[in-house]
Amino acid sequence: MASKRNGELDRSPVHLLHRASQAVEEIFQAEAGNSDLTPRQLAVLATVAGNEGLSQTDIVNITGIDRSSLADIVRRLVKKGLLQRRRTKQDARAYAVKLTEEGQRILRAAGPVAKKVDQLIAKALGGGEDAFLEGLQGMIEKLQAGSTG
């Protein structure tokens, strides 16, 4: 059954980016199988793995995930036993975050899933993934520069 089209929505970057994000998350969940790890949780785990001891503010700055969403993601990952938090010596209000052994194991297991989803996205782009990624990066930079000034 062909999907119905809506001319106005079909020309809306906000709507189309949201729909693309939904499609990618559905594929990620299908590929991840029994794992309840989300792409944003994976992004946090990968960021922490590459930068142990980061504060939650540092993770916000690196990932672009908003502060309240990140706090919820970290709370869930701590509850799952994938991250540990401890107060920093420099600022008793801030938490430093590090991966647990289980977090490292889950991250290693999720790597091939993320790679497969990236490959599916690249295939859907018909070989134009480098230009697409560069375009997305440029769009993010320009939009962030415009929204902060």
User: For the whole prediction, is pTM greater than 0.85?
Assistant: no
What amino acid occupies position 141?
A: E
**Which of 37, 31, 116 shows the shortest CA–CA distance to 73?**
37
Task: Express each pLDDT in 83-118 by its tens digit.
Answer: 999 887 777 777 889 999 999 999 999 999 999 998
The tally of domains found in the chain comes to 1
Task: CATH number of the domain at 74, please.
Answer: 1.10.10.10
- List Cα–Cα distances, 26 to 4, 90, 108, 124, 139, in angstroms: 20, 40, 21, 15, 24
- For residue 119, being part of any structural domain is answered with yes
Q: Starting at the earlier edge strand, list the strands of the sheet with 54-55.
A: 54-55, 95-99, 83-87
| Residue 29 structural domain | 23-147
- For residue 62, being part of any structural domain is answered with yes
- For residue 76, being part of any structural domain is answered with yes
